[in-house]
Amino acid sequence: MSQHDPDHPDHPEHQDAPDGTQRPVDPVAADDPDAAAREQASVPQQPVDDWTQVTRPQPVVPPQAPGPWGYPAPGQPPAAHRHAAPSARVAGWVWPVVAMLALVVGVVGGVVGAAGFRLVDEAGGERQGIVRDGLFGVDTATGAPLAPEDGTIANVAAELLPSTVQIIAAYGGDDRGATGSGFVLDRQGHVVTNNHVVAEAAQDDGRIQVVDQEGNRYDASVVGRSAVYDLAVLVAEEMAGEFEPTALGASSRLRVGETVVAIGSPLGLSSTVTAGIVSALQRPVTTGDPDSDTSYINAVQTDAAINPGNSGGPLVNLLGEVVGVNSAIATTGGGFGAEAGNIGVGFAIPVEQVRITADQILRTGEAQYPIIGAEVRTGNAQGDGAEIQKVNPGSAAEEGGLEEGDVITAVDGERVTDGIALIVSIRTHQPGETVEFTVRRGGEERQVSVELRGQVG
């Protein structure tokens, strides 16, 4: 599958080359500068920017009930509803024939200025984050803004547009930059967007600006970002107390076929609203250039129109709750550097991953993801599991009893079809959790429990 990321996101993940050769995933050496990229036989966890190009489809893992990273709300529909729409698994080899994925990042020119980046300390100098049952240190919205009977696209737009922003990130001099979208997280001036929207600016010490619905611009700095989950948290101090936070919902409560709304600044057209349906849930996809860094997410798929510039913007349900962060789209042609456009296949990072990653960033300035310390083959045309190519000495995988040649067919009872599906499944958990792998070894099936370790990224 071809992949393209004009914003050059710095995701520490690797996947098989087009010829099927193995690329390391989940390294172990803690003092190795490249450990983050290798210590991830780790399986993806959850979790857009101006559209330049993004890549992310692969075999699909069936929807799972809110669990490791779900935040179920009162009145959650029964499990039958949450699992009602089975995802059609697609072998990895099919995607290169059908489409390529592209990050939805836009490109801008002109002088935006220069600004530094820093971590933001909350009250008392101690960074605070979002906790499961509410806010801790930041003032976020609680409860859906709209009642079910008021759930129209027009009402959703009226509620969310004032809290959705455009992101302009300058880097590499006066005439280079990326544009994307974002949304207000709290009343302290924090904004959520995609890492790939601001990655180049952050690395180049460029200037980042947040533009509201009225066209007002606010200087922003990076609080923290995760290349692995393609998420970033910004802070614009002048925005503190001026904007109503968006309400965070739960993608785990979505049902295939229900209406969702995408809001952002596609092609530089700020405050744009498009609508569609949930096309699939728990879709394991990858983003990034296969020759550099790659991110793996268990995405929400939608046919709502998403184009370059939508990256980082909210995907919203009809209660006005954010259920995902728009991040990538599938395209039917072109190569790296080619323009991407909407064809009705877009992908959003589930809001549950946003909660976890934003919380970690607000507390510590950085995010963590789970790893097992093994290398897996990500290409598998048969779709019958993820084969372990190497188990790193002293790793969680070795301690748990995984061996080279093992084929993992399920994680906590949920089927995995190949290495990408495995990585995504692992990343729906947190470091310190114990997961159970169903393993095929020597023609026999067995259960292996592994306690996940953490890696910054």
Residues labelled as active-site residues: 196, 230, 311
- DSSP assignment letter at 337: T
The angle at the Cα of 267, spanning 290 to 238, to the nearest 5 degrees, equals 95
Contact 357, 47 (CB under 8 A): yes
Residue in 232, 156, 130, 205 with CA at minimum distance from that of residue 457: 232
Give dist(CA 168, CA 112) in Å, integer: 8
By C-alpha distance, which of 310, 326, 240, 216 is closest to 269? Answer: 310
Rounded distance, CA 299 to CA 76, Å? 20
The conformation of residue 69, written as its DSSP 8-state character, comes to T
Distant-in-sequence, close-in-space partners of 30: CB < 8 Å, separation ≥ 6: none
Measure the CA–CA gap between 388 and 43, rounded to whole angstroms. 12
Contact between residue 424 and residue 447 where contact means Cβ atoms under 8 Å apart:
no
- CA 312 to CA 328: how far, in whole Å? 10
Among 263, 319, 294, 303, residue whose Cα is nearest residue 141: 319
Alpha-carbon separation of residue 268 from 34, 109, 313 (angstroms):
36, 12, 13
Note the residue count of the chain.
Answer: 457
The answer to whether residues 215 and 141 touch, using CB atoms and an 8 Å cutoff, is no
Looking at residue 243, its amino acid is F
358 phi, psi to nearest 5 deg: -65, -40
Q: Are 386 and 419 in contact (CB under 8 A)?
A: yes
Helix (H, G, I), strand (E, B) or coil at 292: coil
Cβ atoms of residues 363 and 125 within 8 Å: no
Q: Give the number of other Cβ atoms within 10 Å of residue 440's Cβ.
A: 17
Helix (H) or strand (E) holding 192, with range, is: strand 190-193
Q: Are 351 and 329 in contact (CB under 8 A)?
A: no
Q: How many CB atoms lie within 10 A of CB 73?
A: 16
Give me the amino acid identity at 216.
N
Give CA–CA dist 29/373, Å, rounded. 9
